[in-house]
Structure 1
Amino acid sequence: MSISPRMGLVVGKFWPFHKGHQLLLETAAAQVTDLVVMVYANPDSGTMPAATRARWIQELYRGDEMAEGARIGATPLRVFALSAEADGIPADDADDDAHRTFVQRWLAQRGISIDVVFSSESYGPGFAEHLGAAHVAVDAPRRQVPVSGTKLRSNAAEHAQFLHPLVAAELGTVSPATVPRVVFLGAESSGKSTLCAALAQVCQTVWVPEYGRTLHEQKHGNLDYEDLLYIARRHVELEDEAIGKARSVLFCDTNAATTALYSYYYFHRCDPILRALAAVCGQRYAHTFVCAPTVPFEQDGWRGPEALRSFQHGTILMQLDFYGIPYTLVEGSVEERVGQVTRQLRAAGAWD
């Protein structure tokens, strides 16, 4: 079906937001010029209310240009979190007509005219007709993404492969990987990137550079508080994208826990979602190595002073102990560090 509508609508609980919902929103955004997303449930979740679920959507579709807000491709998302108290939403078990009338009235009060409704549910066609809009069904049989919010609420860990890492972290779990992830932490100029590149060559696999460095350079060192969560989110996405190219093991330069440290260092606070991403690092990575700050310091114009390295190193070790994450300290030359890492990976059966 080929249509070119102007304003699209998606309504749902998104409890929790999963990859089926991502498919729904991305399919919708490809066919409209603006997309309204209404997030609500009644009764709502006490631990992940509509405001939290709406923020997941906004965070997952926020790009480097923060001022532009959430968007998918060129299509802006207008994400609304509704509540029974503020908006008078009907109960979940109310009849279809009550929900249709409520949405119609809510949109009219805001001067929003809908051209097409996108849904993966059986109520979709009747709902769209009530609004005087077209309807597009997206993966209604759940063949492309065989999961539901009900399954995830009952056991998020069992179905974590259907969750974005950001949402999985908020639920206290991680998305599984086909090969083990090995992460390298360390102070500035402690040799992480050099070691990752060398190991990738020796092990004939790939590695993921530190995304925070990439964005830091793109913004000429002018990072904002909101950038730190974005850095952690993009880094785990890049890791997941690289998994399919990895052989036996994936090497990762830095993790969300270190990004959280930088958030506190620069801004004296840390976003709760970033804290959640940091808290599951022990589950996400099969092995954690810390590069000792004993290699010659290289000031490339982006780093802090050399004197800061010792403090950063101690803080990273304290954080690992706090989270109960076992780690191995690597020292010496690049060749010596490669040997230390490969011997441990072989002993653990993570690389042959």
Structure 2
Amino acid sequence: MRNPSPQILKIAVVGPESTGKSTMSSYLAKYYNTVWVPEFARKYCEKLTQPPIWQDEVNMFYGQVALEDELLPQANSLLICDTTFITVKIWSEYTFGKSPQEVLDELPKRPYDLYLLLNIDLPWEEDPLRDFPLLREHFMEVWYKELNALNANYKVISGSGPERYANAVKAVDEFLISDLK
């Protein structure tokens, strides 16, 4: 299923912690002269004084969706999304053993045209909001599972520095060319 705003293609930059999603999203938005949707959960969690509870996960879902909807009209032909609310599903299932029903209901309704799954081949960078330096392989497998379950169009992006950026641009350019056919 394609996204409901076919005039704007949605590119989601996803992956485990510390894979450079925000940096990549910013880079791609600048490269393609468009806007990018930041990760809502980051700012939300910065304000928390305790670990997120169930309601926080639901709030992060609604916040991510609202932020994306708010920025969509500002995009040129591409909207770059720094992660998606699938992250809420992944963290909720890991932490609470289940996902909010709102997330499950919305997944098939809000597809992305291309996912760039950032590989875990970058070194871990410490950050107060990152919790799982030893579970990167586990969460990479979870991302494969989630994207395959959605029958998503995705490319794994590897490399470091300029090579990683070039690989992402190549994946997006190949997608754009194939989308024109």
TM-score by length of 1: 0.47
Look up the match of 2:61.
232
- Aligned pair in 2 of structure 1 residues 276, 173: CA closer, same or farther (>3 Å)? farther
Q: Is the 8 A contact 1:177 1:243 kept in 2?
A: no
Count of matched residue positions in the alignment of Structure 1 and Structure 2: 178
State the distance in 1 between where 2:129 and 2:172 align: 32
RMSD (Å) for aligned C-alpha atoms: 2.2
State the distance in 2 between where 1:175 and 1:233 align: 18
What is the one-letter code of the residue matched to 2:55?
E
Q: Of 268, 285, 301, which residue of structure 1 is paired with 2:128?
A: 301
State the distance in 2 between where 1:196 and 1:188 align: 14
Q: Of 80, 83, 88, which residue of structure 2 is paired with 1:259?
A: 88
What is the one-letter code of the residue matched to 2:124?
F
Look up the match of 2:172.
345
Q: Is the 8 A contact 1:200 1:206 kept in 2?
A: yes
Look up the match of 1:184.
13
Look up the match of 1:168.
none
Look up the match of 1:310.
137
State the SS of the aligned residue for 1:345.
Answer: helix
Q: Is the 8 A contact 2:13 2:116 kept in 1?
A: yes
Task: Give 5+ residue unaligned stretches, structure 1.
Answer: 1-171
Look up the match of 1:14.
none
Q: Is the 8 A contact 2:88 2:99 kept in 1?
A: no
Matched, 1:321 2:154: no
Q: Is the 8 A contact 1:232 1:259 kept in 2?
A: yes
Q: Of 28, 39, 42, which residue of structure 2 is paired with 1:213?
A: 42
State the SS of the aligned residue for 2:17.
Answer: coil
Q: Is the 8 A contact 1:173 1:280 kept in 2?
A: no
What is the one-letter code of the residue matched to 2:94?
Y
State the distance in 1 between where 2:31 and 2:153 align: 24
After superposition, where does 1:9-88 map in structure 2 within 5 Å? none
Q: Is the 8 A contact 2:3 2:113 kept in 1?
A: no
Return the structure number with greater relative CO, CA threshold 8 A, min gap 6.
Answer: 2
After superposition, where does 1:126-141 map in structure 2 within 5 Å? none
Structure with the largest fraction of helix: 2
State the SS of the aligned residue for 2:12.
Answer: strand
1:221 positional shift? 4.6
Look up the match of 1:246.
75
State the SS of the aligned residue for 1:348.
Answer: helix
State the SS of the aligned residue for 2:74.
Answer: coil
What is the one-letter code of the residue matched to 1:215?
Y
Task: Give 5+ residue unaligned stretches, structure 2.
Answer: none
State the distance in 2 between where 1:316 and 1:226 align: 23
Matched, 1:198 2:30: no
Q: Is the 8 A contact 2:2 2:112 kept in 1?
A: no
Matched, 1:331 2:148: no
- Aligned pair in 2 of structure 1 residues 311, 255: CA closer, same or farther (>3 Å)? same
TM-score by length of 2: 0.88
